[in-house]
Structure 1
Amino acid sequence: MTPELFWLTMTALLAASMWLPFIIGVNTVGMPMPSENRPPDIAQAPPWIHRAWRAHLNLLEQFLPFAVIVLISHLAGISTPLTSAAAMAFFFIRVIHAVWMIAGLPVLPVRPILFTLGWVAICTIGGAVLLT
């Protein structure tokens, strides 16, 4: 397994687990469920639960392009120290972003910077694919 595929797997596991803070929060706070058997209204959630929901969605927004680029690089046989570092960086950037967002840490513009760094990591791997 290449390092890029390892970090893709780790990121997939992170994405697959990011629903947990939201569900734990909804169930511990006891948000009322609508009578139509629909999910609870996120606007009525405490701020940290809403942030957990957004952190999950935000990760999914970047996960798809990351996964596609890593898989393309793998199929093309491209694995360099730079692409490996970019894949590892992407994972840790997304972990930090999720923790920062759920915790509601007020220092801005950290979250947009982290999102941008994730994009740079994706573009780094994509650039290696296109330039090889």
Structure 2
Amino acid sequence: MPKLLSLVVCMTLLTWLTVVAASLIRARAWTPKGLMLAFGNRDNLPEATPLAGRTQRAAANSLENLLFFAALALVAQAAGATNERVLLGAQIFLWARVVYLPVYVLGIAFVRTGVWSVSIVGLGLMVAGMV
């Protein structure tokens, strides 16, 4: 598999894990009652704790950013523009997201924005590598 597409798969798996973690934390699936909620339709979820809320927002942010990343990566792959700049941008994006998620979940506000900015620089490098 081409390196760029491997990075898309990695980001997709990271996003999926984040969505699953958010769901399990919100349902409190480590308790018997929470486990039943997690297996059910989640109609009566408890009020989100601050941790659950941050985890849900981090998961939503990952889904949003996966869309942009995957679109750029797939366009680059289809156009044959998988040069070093595009790959570097994709790697920066992925590793920034790996750092971003725990920083967001832990609630480290200013660092979170800085790490997010690094991921956006990665997307910018991908675009720059295609023009």
- TM-score class normalised by the smaller sequence: 0.7 to 0.9
In structure 2, the CA distance between the partners of 1:39 and 1:53, relative to structure 1 (3 Å rule), is: farther
SS in 2 for 1:40: coil
Gaps of 5+ in 1: none
Gaps of 5+ in 2: none
Give 1:68 shift: 0.5
Q: Choose from 38, 45, 58 the match for 1:40.
A: 45
CA contact (8 A) 1:21 1:49 kept: no
Give 1:119 shift: 1.5
1:88-103, aligned counterparts within 5 Å? 88-103=91-106
Q: Structure 1, residues 70-89: CA drift from partner, whole Å, max 9, x if none?
A: 00000010112221121111
- Structure holding more helix per residue: 2
SS in 1 for 2:13: helix
Matching residue of 1:22: 22
Q: So what's the TM-score if we normalise by structure 1?
A: 0.81
CA distance in 1, matches of 2:44, 2:19: 13
Query: What fraction of aligned residue pairs are identical, expressed as a percent?
Result: 21
CA RMSD in angstroms, aligned pairs only: 2.2
In structure 2, the CA distance between the partners of 1:119 and 1:39, relative to structure 1 (3 Å rule), is: farther
CA distance in 1, matches of 2:17, 2:96: 16
Structure showing greater relative contact order (alpha-carbon pairs closer than 8 Å, 6 or more residues apart) = 1
Give 1:28 shift: 3.2
In structure 2, give the amino acid aligned to 1:128: G
TM superposition outliers: structure 1 runs of 4+ over 3 Å: 28-31, 36-39
CA distance in 2, matches of 1:120, 1:2: 22
In structure 2, give the amino acid aligned to 1:38: D
* Paired residues, number: 124
